[in-house]
A and B are shown apart, each in its own frame.
Chain A
Amino acid sequence: MQSPVNWALLGLVIERPSYAYELAQRFERTYEGALSLSSTSHVYTALRALEDRGLVEEIPGSGTGRQPKPCYRATEGAVEHYQRWLVSQLAEERRRQRLFAMELAALMSDPGLARGVIDGYEQACVREGGDSPLRATNERSPDLGSRLANRLACEQNRLAVGARLEWVQYVRRELKALAERRAPAR
């Protein structure tokens, strides 16, 4: 299953069983700015996909009555699948970083061009670090889980900025060495 929306919904169901409409509302609140639903019916499609894979199930008896409103819960094996998927995100980040390095390498025939990109990338990182909210100003949501998620995401991003900045220094050294190696031939 590749859809980040499906996995995100599974996470919400693991957190606590919910009705589809309630899930759509929790989704909007929790993933605002990170993921979006194409429409409310997107939740039903996703729940069906999760049900087909045996990751969620209707709570028996919850979909009965005059206006049936089934409540969904995670199945026994769902948490393990969800954990494995979270860890696999690391590989996705590695793939993106590798792709960027490969794209940058296309400019290596002219180290000046590559340096220009690196300058811009470095500045984008520094600004991202500066714009990162401080803990004291990052506590708007009344929901404890959302506040913790915000803080975790914020800290991860701030640390990632540091890793990127260090990587930029490494790229600079490599570009400088490359320019020096090429200089005598000119």
Chain B
Amino acid sequence: MSLLELEAVGKRYGAPARERLVLSEVSLHLEAGELVVVWGLKGSGRSTLLRVAAGIEAPDSGTVRFEGRDLAEHGEDLLGGGVGYCERTFRYAEGERVLEQVTVGLLARGVPPRQARARAQRSLARVDAEQTAAQRLATLEDGESVRVAIARTLALEPALLVIDEPIRGVDLLERDGILALLRSLADEGIAVLASTSESTGLAGADRGLVISEGELRGAPPAELATVLPLRRPAGRRAAG
């Protein structure tokens, strides 16, 4: 059993007469400690795939299981703890300062305020953003803002982190820092499912996948692998 399993997932949007297929028979398995990045253009189904994988949206067909449990039935229980969907935007009503934002999810789950603050600070330190704790959200750079968003999700100690376009809008020289952070989280045992519309976002991934017109493509057909040698350099960790 894999940590996350999507089997023949289908998703459609729009009224019946003008329905649009967004995900078509998508299957994907993700293991603990694996970093999988899905590349796709706008409108490819990339973000929908991540929301369905995190249990934010239910599929129209197929199943999504996390630790063997169907997300359609247990989504509310698993979202936050087991499955962390990293929103890159902030709700200002939940606090104007960074530490408040990272603490709020813990308080909502009944963690006492002092412990919640300590966990939030550890989480900020984990993403190299402890210096932003007292900052107002509006003063954060794009890269810092992504780190804080990840810290907010990590504070809930998820086994799976799902993040849509982590490097979108991030300064060119800071993107690798964000990707290295995701890589290090996976190396610590967290499963990370990320998406990107920029090929630079694939760097460091154990597996890169492509989604277009709702179809997810993974491993190449065996007969072509012999024609096009798709070797990984020696010393790379094997995909899980």
Q: Which residues does chain A contribute within 8 Å of B232, judged by CB atoms? A: 127, 131
Q: Which residues of B contact A136 (CB under 8 A)?
A: 176-177, 180
The answer to whether A158 and B41 touch (CB under 8 A), given A119-B217, A172-B212, is: no
Let me know if A166 is at the binding interface, CB within 8 A: yes
Residue of A nearest to B175 (CB): A135
Known A-B contacts A117-B224, A120-B227; the reply to A126 vs B210 at CB < 8 A is: yes
Asked if A141 is an interface residue, CB under 8 A from chain B, the answer is no
- Could you say which residues of chain A place their CB within 8 Å of the CB of B202? 126, 129-130, 132, 158, 161
The interface residues of chain B lying within 8 Å CB-to-CB of A117 are 224
- Flag whether B219 is at the interface (Cβ < 8 A): yes
User: CB distance B180 to A120 under 8 Å?
Assistant: no
B211-226 interface with A by 8 A CB criterion: 212, 217, 219-221, 223-225
Could you tell me the distance between the alpha carbons of A125 and B177 in the complex, rounded to whole angstroms? 22
A130 near B221 (CB under 8 angstroms)?
no
Q: B6 at the A/B interface (Cβ < 8 Å)?
A: no
Asked if residues B203 and A162 are in contact (CB atoms below 8 Å), the reply is no
Flag whether A165 is at the interface (Cβ < 8 A). Answer: yes
Contact between B208 and A120, CB atoms less than 8 A apart: no
Give me the interface of A with B, judged by CB distance under 8 Å.
Answer: 116-117, 119-127, 129-137, 155, 158-159, 161-163, 165-166, 168-169, 172
In angstroms, Cα B219 to Cα A132, docked, is 18
Would you give 27 A-B contacts (Cβ < 8 Å), ordered by A? Answer: A116-B221, A116-B224, A119-B224, A120-B221, A122-B217, A123-B217, A123-B220, A123-B224, A125-B199, A126-B209, A129-B205, A129-B208, A131-B233, A132-B204, A134-B180, A134-B203, A134-B204, A135-B180, A136-B176, A136-B177, A158-B200, A158-B203, A162-B199, A162-B200, A165-B199, A166-B41, A169-B41
B41 touches A130 (CB 8 A): no
CA distance A172 to B212 in the complex (A): 10
Residue in A116, A129, A135 whose beta carbon sits within 8 Å of that of B176 in the complex: A135
Per DSSP, are chain A's interface residues mostly helix, strand or loop, or mixed? Answer: helix
Q: Which residues of B contact A116 (CB under 8 A)?
A: 221, 223-224
**In the assembled complex, how far is the CB of residue B192 from the closest CB belonging to chain A, in whole angstroms?**
13
Q: Is B83 an interface residue (CB 8 A)?
A: no
Which 9 A-B pairs have CB atoms at the shortest separation, nearest pair first? A162-B199, A129-B202, A135-B176, A120-B224, A126-B208, A123-B220, A161-B199, A130-B205, A130-B208
Residue among B39, B219, B225 having the largest count of chain A Cβ atoms under 10 Å: B39
Chain B 108-157 interface residues, beta-carbon cutoff 8 Å to A: none
In the bound complex, residues from chain B placing their C-beta under 8 Å from that of A130 are 37, 202-208
Q: Which of B37, B205, B220 has the most chain A CB within a 10 Å cutoff?
A: B220
- A124 / chain B contacts, CB cutoff of 8 Å: 220, 228, 230
| In the complex, residue of chain A having the shortest beta-carbon distance to the beta carbon of B208 | A126
B198 within 8 A of A: yes
- Note all chain A residues with C-beta closer than 8 A to B199: 125, 129, 158-159, 161-163, 165
